Amino acid sequence: MNNSVITAPSILAADFANIVGGLSLIEEARGGWVHMDVMDGHFVPNISFGPKMVRDVRARTDLPLDVHLMVSQPERYTSEFIEAGADYLTVHLESTVHVHRVIQSIRRDGARPGLAIVPSTPVAAAEELLDEIDLLLIMTVNPGFGGQALIPRGIEKVARAVQIRRERGLSFRISVDGGVNHETAPLLREAGVDVLVSGSAFFSAPDPSQYLRDLCGHGGG
C-alpha cells in the first residue's frame, strides 16, 4: 500500500483551446505533476501535440512536467522535449530497439528518464533497464486515446514491479496510465503504485480537488 501517491492529471483530456484553464484546474486541485501525452499518429493511432506545447506549458506552470512520448523513433526528439522543459521524459520500450541508449541520452541531457510498457509487454521485458530509469510507466489501456477502461491485469503488473524493485534495492517510481478513476485507484494503491495519471476522470470530475484527494486515499469518510 502506498500512502503518498503523486497525482498526474493528463492535459490530453483538457480543452486544447484553453490549456491555461486546464493548468489552473490542475493547480487549484493540487495535482502533483502535469502529464503530457505526445502521440505521433504512427506508434499510436492518434496525433496530439509536440514540443511547442511542452514549452508553452512550461512557461505557465512550475509543476513538474511528466512527458510521455508515444512516438516511433523517440531518439529523434528527446533533446527537443528536454530543451522545451520536460522534467520526466518517458519513452516506450516497444518504440525503438536501442531503448537503453535513449534512456542514457535523456539522463545525459538533464531530464529524468522513464520507461513505458503497453499492456501486452510484461514487466519482465523491462528488467534490463530498471536500474537506469527514474520512472516505470505501466499502461493499463492500449495507448492512443483517453477515456478507456483499465485492463485489470495491469494491477498485477504494478505488484510485480514493486516486488522486483524491492528485491533489487532500486528506487524508480511506478506510474499507472489509463482508466484511472475513483474505482480503480484503491486497487492500484493497494498494489503499491506511486504515480496515478488521470485524464478524462479528472477533467470531468464535478469537484476536481475532491477527486484527487480520493485518488490518493485522502477523500475523508
Q: Which residue pairs from 48-56 have beta carbons closer than 8 angstroms and sit at least 24 positions apart in sequence?
A: 48/12, 49/16, 50/77, 51/77, 51/80, 51/81, 51/83, 51/84, 52/84, 53/19, 54/81, 54/84, 54/85, 54/86, 55/84, 55/85, 56/19
Asked whether residue 220 is marked as a ligand-binding residue, the answer is: no
Asked whether residue 37 is marked as a ligand-binding residue, the answer is: yes
What is the Cα Rg of the chain in Å?
16
210 contact, one of Zn ion, ligand DX5, none, CB 5-8 Å limit per kind: none
Cell digits for 78? 528527446
Nearer to ligand DX5, 16 or 131 (CB): 16
- Cβ atoms of 43 and 71 within 8 Å: the answer is yes
Which residue in the shown chain puts its C-beta closest to Zn ion?
68
The yes or no reply on residue 40 touching Zn ion (CB under 5 A) is no
Rounded to whole angstroms, how far apart are CA atoms 187 and 104?
33
**Active site amino acids:** 37, 177
Nearer to ligand DX5, 25 or 197 (CB): 197
**What are the residues whose beta carbons fall under 8 Å from the beta carbon of 67, sequence distance 6 or more?**
36, 38, 54, 81, 86, 87, 88, 89, 90
Asked whether residue 21 is marked as a ligand-binding residue, the answer is: no
Site for Zn ion in 53-92 (CB under 5 A): 68
Q: Nearest approach, Cβ of 85 to Zn ion (angstroms)?
A: 17
Q: From edge to edge, which strands make up the β-sheet containing 195-198?
A: 6-9, 195-198, 173-177, 135-139, 112-117, 88-92, 65-70, 34-39
The yes or no reply on residue 214 touching Zn ion (CB under 5 A) is no
Over the window 127 to 146, marking each residue x when it contacts Zn ion by CB under 5 A and - when it does not, the resulting string is --------------------
Residue from 40, 66, 134, 177 in contact with Zn ion (CB under 5 A): 177
Q: Where do contacts with ligand DX5 occur on this chain (CB under 6 A)?
A: 10, 12-13, 35, 37, 68, 141, 143-148, 177-180, 197-201
32 contact, one of Zn ion, ligand DX5, none, CB 5-8 Å limit per kind: none
Asked whether residue 100 is marked as a ligand-binding residue, the answer is: no
Asked whether residue 179 is marked as a ligand-binding residue, the answer is: yes
147 contact, one of ligand DX5, Zn ion, none, CB 5-8 Å limit per kind: ligand DX5
8 Cα distance to chain centroid: 7
Nearer to Zn ion, 1 or 137 (CB): 137
Q: Which residues are annotated as a binding site for substrate?
A: 10, 68, 144-147, 177-179, 199-200
